[in-house]
A and B are shown apart, each in its own frame.
Chain A
Amino acid sequence: AQSVTQPDIHITVSEGASLELRCNYSYGATPYLFWYVQSPGQGLQLLLKYFSGDTLVQGIKGFEAEFKRSQSSFNLRKPSVHWSDAAEYFCAVAETGANNLFFGTGTRLTVIP
């Protein structure tokens, strides 16, 4: 069965600093991969997704993620964090052709001035 691991429960970065959130998955084939963001009291919003093709994907709000098959990873990056990026970030995986998502436990991002 597929699973998603987000090893960092909480990360604190300074505004303007770079950010990398880690995500590892367990799945035999190449899954569909997603990053979602959840602001306090809000639903989840898709940042970006990977289905196939170019392993570096660009998303909204200046985020990008890179799929590395050899490491079973799909890490999220942003070169310069803004205070408004403070939120919880979820990595998710779905089997190829499936329609249900499995989510990681999330990483809470705090941005300090």
Chain B
Amino acid sequence: DAGVIQSPRHEVTEMGQEVTLRCKPISGHDYLFWYRQTMMRGLELLIYFNNNVPIDDSGMPEDRFSAKMPNASFSTLKIQPSEPRDSAVYFCASSFRGLAKNIQYFGAGTRLSVL
């Protein structure tokens, strides 16, 4: 398997623009997680899905952030409008049957820079 695939790997945008990050989980995995990594706050869970349904979005910082999972093989994290403080590395991870049964596999991340 190719692992968790994230695109793009790097994104540079200007403040106010819409940004869409994409994730393809490992085939057969039923959990998908979005994390954000910054120097100040470390790794934070933003939201996670089970069978394409959002389960916990309490980590989503504000209404400018939204995430969707239209099918089992694709998820997006959208920021609209983007702000410089959104600059971070965003990771997607997937797992099968949750942590009690299996581990999370992480993608390589998307490095977002908002100017």
Interface residues, chain A, with chain B CB atoms under 8 Å away: 32, 34, 36, 41-46, 49, 51, 90, 94, 96-106
Contact A99 B50 (CB under 8 A): yes
- Known: A36-B106, A46-B103, A100-B33; 13 extra A-B contacts, CB below 8 A, are A32-B100, A42-B109, A43-B107, A44-B93, A49-B103, A90-B43, A94-B99, A99-B31, A99-B50, A100-B56, A101-B99, A103-B43, A104-B42
Query: In the complex, which residues of chain A have a beta carbon less than 8 angstroms from the beta carbon of B45?
Result: 100-102
Q: Nearest Cβ distance between residue B111 and chain A, in whole angstroms?
A: 8
Interface of A is mostly: loop
B108 CB within 8 Å of chain A:
yes
Chain B minimum-CB-distance residue to A51: B100
Q: In whole angstroms, how far apart are the Cα atoms of A102 and B35 in the complex?
A: 10
Contact A98 B106 (CB under 8 A): no
Query: In the complex, which residues of chain A have a beta carbon less than 8 angstroms from the beta carbon of B93?
Result: 44
Q: In whole angstroms, how far apart are the Cα atoms of A94 and B98 in the complex?
A: 11
Q: In whole angstroms, how far apart are the Cα atoms of A106 and B41 in the complex?
A: 11
Q: Nearest Cβ distance between residue B3 and chain A, in whole angstroms?
A: 9
For chain B, the bracket of interface size reads 20 to 34
Q: In whole angstroms, how far apart are the Cα atoms of A24 and B109 in the complex?
A: 27
Query: In the complex, which residues of chain A have a beta carbon less than 8 angstroms from the beta carbon of B100?
Result: 32, 51, 96-97, 99
Q: In whole angstroms, how far apart are the Cα atoms of A42 and B98 in the complex?
A: 23
Contact A105 B42 (CB under 8 A): yes
Chain B 1-32 per-residue mask, 1 if CB under 8 angstroms from chain A, else 0: 00010000000000000000000000000010
Given the contacts A99-B98, A100-B45, A44 and B31 also touching, CB distance less than 8 Å: no
Given the contacts A32-B99, A99-B98, A45 and B33 also touching, CB distance less than 8 Å: no
Q: Nearest Cβ distance between residue A12 and chain B, in whole angstroms?
A: 20
Q: In whole angstroms, how far apart are the Cα atoms of A93 and B99 in the complex?
A: 11
